[in-house]
C-alpha cells in the first residue's frame, strides 16, 4: 500500500464512521454534543481562512455568526423566506461587513488588529442589545429572537430529531475542510501565507497583499454566517449576549491556536480536544463557576504554546508519518 | 532602448535628503553597478524604483512608461523584480514553496508554478535544498533564494541589493557566474554591490553615489581611477574588499 492509498483509506474510513455514528449514538444529548463539536470545528475552519492562512488574528468572529442568525431568522419570521435562502443572504451581508472592517484594520499589526476586531464585535453586540426594532424589522434587544415551531420541514430548516442537524453540520464541515485544503494548495493559499509572513517580500513578488487578505476575510465571514443560521435553526432561540459575545469569538481562537493555526486539520483537532472539555466543565462545574471553561482553555493554551507553539497538529502529523512509514514499509517520511 | 530612466529624482525622509537630483538610465541587456558608501541612498533608490514609496520630486520611467502611482506588485507584474538587502524569506516555508510564490505571477496552476520554480532553483544551483525550510539556510543560500524568488516572476529588469555581502570568496565567484548567466538569458541587471572585485567583473557601467548625489559614472576601470571616487569611497574600502 502506498502512502497516498493509506491516507485515502483512512480518510474515507473516518468520514464513513462519522456518517454511521448516529446509528449507534441515538441519545439526543450526545448527538447534540457531537453537533456542537462539528459546529465549532466548522467555525474554526472558516476562521482559519483569514486567522490562520492570512496570518492576522481576528477576535470578533461571533459578529458574523450573529449576522447569519439574525438575517435568516428575521427573513423567515417576518417575511416567510426559507432559512436556506436567508442563510445565503446572511453570508453575503457578513462578507460585506467583513470587508468593511478589514479594509482599514488589516494594515495594523498583531495585537492592534485583534483589539480592533474585539472592539467592533462588542460595539455591535451592545448596539443590538439596545435596539428594539429598525423600522418594521424586529430585533428585540437583549431578549433575542425566537423561531416558532413549524414541525419537520426541510424548507423551514426545522427537524424534530437531531439526526438531520447532525448530517447538515457534518456535510458543512466536510465541505469547508475540503475548501481550505483546496485553497492551501492553490495560488491563493501561497499568496495568503506569503503575505501573512513577509508582506513586503510578498508585494515585491507581485502580490497585492491587502486585496488577498480582504478576499480571505470575505470568504471566512460568508462561511461563518452560514453557521449562524445553522445555530439559530438548531436552537430555535438566540440572544445577543450568548451569540454575539466574546465567549464564542475567543473559543474559536482557542480551538485554532491549540489545534494548529494555519493547518487544515488544526481546527478539527482543536475542537476534538476542547469541546468535550467544555461540555464537561459546563455540565459539572458550570453552575458554580460560569466561565470556568475559558480559564481552563487559557491554561491549556499556555501549556500548548510552551511545548508545541504551533499547536497539536504538527506533533500529531509527525506521529502519523511514523505510523504510515511502518504500515507502508516505505523508509521514514521526512 | 533604455529599460529604466530616472530624471531629477529627489527623495526626502522628513528633513533628511536621501537622494538628491539624480539622473540615471539603464539600457536593455546591460549590467549596471551602483556603488557608494553606506547611507549614500542606494537602497532608497531601489525602493523608489520598485514602487515602495513615491519619489519626492522627479520621474522614473520603466519601459518608457512612468511608474508614478504604481505599487510594488504592479511593477512586478510589469517585469520589474527586486531583492532586499536584508533578505526576506518566508521562513516557515520550504525553499520550493518560497520560489513557487514568485512563480505564481504568470500561472494559476500549482503544478506549472512548481515546474517553473524547480527550473529556477536549478539555474541557481539550489535545487538540492528545495525541501529545506528557508529559515534553516546558510547566508549564501538565503541570498540565492532571494534571487530565485525574484527570478521566478520572469523579470525583464532585476534589482539586486548587496546579494554578495557576507559570502565567502568562492561563493562570490559562483554568484558572479550566476548573475552573468541571467544577463545572457536576456535579463537586465541593476546591482548594488560593495565587493569591488564583483563590481569590476560584472558591470558594463558603474554609477557612484555619495550623500544621494551621483559623483561619477562610466566604465568600471575608469570610475575606479576617478579621484572623487577614491576619496569618497574606494580609499577607505577598496583594499578591504
Ligand atoms: N524608510 C526610511 N525612512 C527614513 N529614513 C530612511 C528610510 N530608508 C532609508 N533612510 C535613510 O536614508 C539614507 C540612505 O539610506 P540607504 O538608502 O539605505 O543607504 P545605502 O543603501 O546606500 O546604504 C540613510 O540615512 C537612511 O537612514
Ligand atoms: Mg543599502
pLDDT tens readout for residues A124-145 = 999 999 999 999 999 999 999 9
> Would the CB atoms of A206 and B84 count as touching at under 8 Å?
no
Q: How far is B92 from chain A (nearest CA, A)?
A: 8
Distance B96 CA to ligand 1 centre (A): 32
Preferred mutation among A188, A204, A209 to probe B, highest tally of B CBs within 10 A: A204
Q: Give B76's contacts in chain A (Cβ within 8 Å).
A: 203-206
**C-beta atoms surrounding A323 within 10 Å:** 13
Q: What is the pLDDT of residue B235?
A: 66
Of the partner residues B76, B91, B93, the one whose CB lies closest to the CB of residue A205: B76
**C-beta atoms surrounding A140 within 10 Å:** 17
> Would the CB atoms of B102 and A206 count as touching at under 8 Å?
yes
Q: What is the pLDDT of residue A120?
A: 93
Q: What is the mean pLDDT of residues A180-208?
A: 97
Transcribe chain B into DSSP letters.
-EEEEEEEEEEEETTEEEEEEEEEEEETT-EEEEE--TTSSHHHHHHHHTTSS--SEEEEEETTEE-TT--HHHHHHHTEEE--SS----TTSBHHHHHHHHHTTS-S-HHHHHHHHHHHHHHTT-GGGTTSBGGG--HHHHHHHHHHHHHTT--SEEEEESTTTT--HHHHHHHHHHHHHHHHTT-EEEEE---HHHHHHH-SEEEEEETTEEEEEE-HHHHTT-HHHIIIIIHHHTTT-
Which residues sit with Cβ closer than 5 angstroms to ligand 2, an ion?
Answer: B 42-43, 85
* pLDDT tens per residue across span A286-306: 667 777 777 888 898 899 989
Q: What is the pLDDT of residue A265?
A: 95
Q: Which segments in chain B show pLDDT lower than 50? A: 239-241
Enter the pTM of the model: 0.93
Q: What is the mean pLDDT of residues A303-331?
A: 89
Q: Does A232 score more than 60 pLDDT?
A: yes
Q: Is the CB of B38 under 6 A from ligand 1?
A: yes
Domain extents in chain B: 2-240
Ligand nearest to the CA of B83: 2
Q: Give B110's contacts in chain A (Cβ within 8 Å).
A: 185-187
Preferred mutation among B90, B105, B114, B157 to probe A, highest tally of A CBs within 10 A: B90
Fold of B2-240: Rossmann fold (3.40.50)
Q: Measured between alpha carbons, how far is B87 from A55 in angstroms, rounded to an integer?
A: 20
Q: Does A330 score more than 70 pLDDT?
A: no
Q: Which of B14, B19, B43, B86 to mutate to test the pocket of ligand 1 (most atoms within 8 A of CB)?
A: B43
Q: What is the pLDDT of residue B236?
A: 55
Cα nearest neighbour of B100 on chain A: A190
Cα nearest neighbour of B53 on chain A: A200
Transcribe B4-60 into DSSP letters.
EEEEEEEEEETTEEEEEEEEEEEETT-EEEEE--TTSSHHHHHHHHTTSS--SEEEE
Q: Which of B18, B33, B55, B190 to mutate to test the pocket of ligand 1 (most atoms within 8 A of CB)?
A: B18
CA-nearest residue for atom 8, ligand 1, is B44
Q: What is the pLDDT of residue B123?
A: 93
Radius of gyration of chain A (CA): 20
Please provide the average confidence, as pLDDT, over all residues in chain A.
93
ipTM (interface pTM)? 0.94
Distance B110 CA to ligand 2 centre (A): 34
Share of chain A above pLDDT 70, in %: 98
Distance B161 CA to ligand 2 centre (A): 7
Give chain A's end-to-end CA distance (angstroms, integer): 18
Amino acid at each position: 500500500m502506498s502512502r497516498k492509498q493509506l491516507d485515502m483509506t483512512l480518510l474515507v474510513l473516518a468520514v464513513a464512521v462519522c456518517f454511521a455514528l448516529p446509528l449507534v449514538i441515538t441519545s439526543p444529548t450526545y448527538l447534540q454534543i457531537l453537533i456542537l463539536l462539528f459546529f465549532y470545528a466548522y467555525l474554526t475552519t472558516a476562521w482559519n481562512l483569514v486567522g490562520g492562512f492570512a496570518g492576522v488574528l481576528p477576535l470578533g468572529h461571533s459578529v458574523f455568526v450573529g449576522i447569519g442568525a439574525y438575517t435568516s431568522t428575521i427573513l423567515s419570521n417576518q417575511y416567510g423566506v426559507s432559512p436556506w435562502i436567508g442563510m445565503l443572504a446572511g453570508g453575503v451581508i457578513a462578507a460585506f461587513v467583513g470587508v468593511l472592517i478589514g479594509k482599514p484594520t488589516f494594515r495594523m499589526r498583531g495585537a492592534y488588529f485583534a483589539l480592533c476586531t474585539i472592539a467592533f464585535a462588542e460595539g455591535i453586540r451592545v448596539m443590538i442589545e439596545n435596539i428594539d426594532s429598525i423600522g418594521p424589522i424586529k430585533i428585540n434587544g437583549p431578549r433575542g429572537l425566537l423561531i416558532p415551531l413549524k414541525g419537520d420541514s426541510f424548507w423551514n430548516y426545522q427537524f424534530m430529531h437531531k439526526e438531520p442537524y447532525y448530517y447538515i453540520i457534518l456535510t458543512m464541515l466536510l465541505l469547508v475542510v475540503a475548501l481550505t485544503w483546496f485553497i492551501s494548495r492553490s495560488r491563493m493559499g501561497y499568496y495568503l501565507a506569503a503575505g501573512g509572513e513577509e508582506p513586503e517580500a510578498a508585494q515585491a513578488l507581485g502580490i497585492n497583499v491587502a486585496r488577498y487578505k480582504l478576499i480571505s476575510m470575505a470568504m471566512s465571514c460568508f462561511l461563518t454566517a452560514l453557521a449562524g443560521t445553522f445555530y439559530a435553526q438548531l436552537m430555535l432561540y438566540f440572544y445577543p449576549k450568548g451569540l454575539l459575545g466574546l465567549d464564542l469569538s475567543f473559543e474559536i481562537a482557542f480551538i485554532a491556536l491549540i489545534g494548529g493555526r494555519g493547518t487544515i486539520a488544526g481546527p478539527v483537532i482543536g475542537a476534538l480536544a476542547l469541546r468535550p472539555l467544555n461540555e464537561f466543565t459546563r455540565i459539572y462545574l458550570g453552575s458554580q463557576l460560569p466561565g470556568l471553561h475559558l480559564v481552563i482553555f487559557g491554561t491549556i493554551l499556555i501549556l500548548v504554546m510552551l511545548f508545541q507553539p504551533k499547536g497539536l497538529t504538527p506533533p500529531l502529523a509527525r506521529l502519523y508519518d511514523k505510523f504510515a512509514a511502518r504500515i507502508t514499509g516505505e523508509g521514514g517520511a521526512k | 532602448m533604455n529599460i529604466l530612466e530616472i530624471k531629477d529624482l529627489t527623495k526626502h525622509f522628513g528633513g533628511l535628503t536621501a537622494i538628491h537630483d539624480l539622473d540615471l538610465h539603464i539600457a536593455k541587456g546591460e549590467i549596471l553597478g551602483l556603488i557608494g558608501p553606506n547611507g549614500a541612498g542606494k537602497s532608497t533608490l531601489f525602493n523608489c524604483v520598485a514602487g515602495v514609496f513615491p519619489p519626492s520630486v522627479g520621474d522614473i520611467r520603466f519601459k518608457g512608461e512612468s511608474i508614478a502611482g504604481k505599487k510594488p506588485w504592479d511593477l512586478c507584474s510589469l517585469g520589474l523584480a527586486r531583492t532586499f538587502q536584508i533578505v526576506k524569506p518566508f521562513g516557515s516555508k520550504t525553499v520550493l514553496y518560497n520560489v513557487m510564490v514568485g512563480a505564481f505571477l504568470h500561472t494559476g496552476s500549482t503544478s506549472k508554478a512548481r515546474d517553473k520554480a524547480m527550473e529556477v532553483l536549478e539555474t541557481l544551483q539550489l535545487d538540492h535544498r528545495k525541501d529545506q525550510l528557508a529559515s534553516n539556510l546558510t547566508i549564501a543560500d538565503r541570498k540565492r533564494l532571494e534571487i530565485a524568488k525574484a527570478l521566478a516572476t520572469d523579470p525583464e529588469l532585476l534589482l539586486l541589493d548587496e546579494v554578495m555581502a557576507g559570502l565567502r570568496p568562492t561563493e562570490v565567484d559562483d554568484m558572479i557566474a550566476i548573475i552573468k548567466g541571467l544577463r545572457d538569458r536576456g535579463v537586465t541587471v541593476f546591482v548594488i554591490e560593495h565587493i569591488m572585485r564583483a563590481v569590476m567583473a560584472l558591470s558594463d557601467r558603474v554609477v557612484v553615489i555619495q550623500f544621494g548625489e551621483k559623483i561619477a559614472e562610466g566604465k568600471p576601470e575608469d570610475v575606479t581611477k576617478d579621484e572623487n571616487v577614491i576619496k569618497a569611497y574606494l580609499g577607505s574600502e577598496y583594499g578591504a574588499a
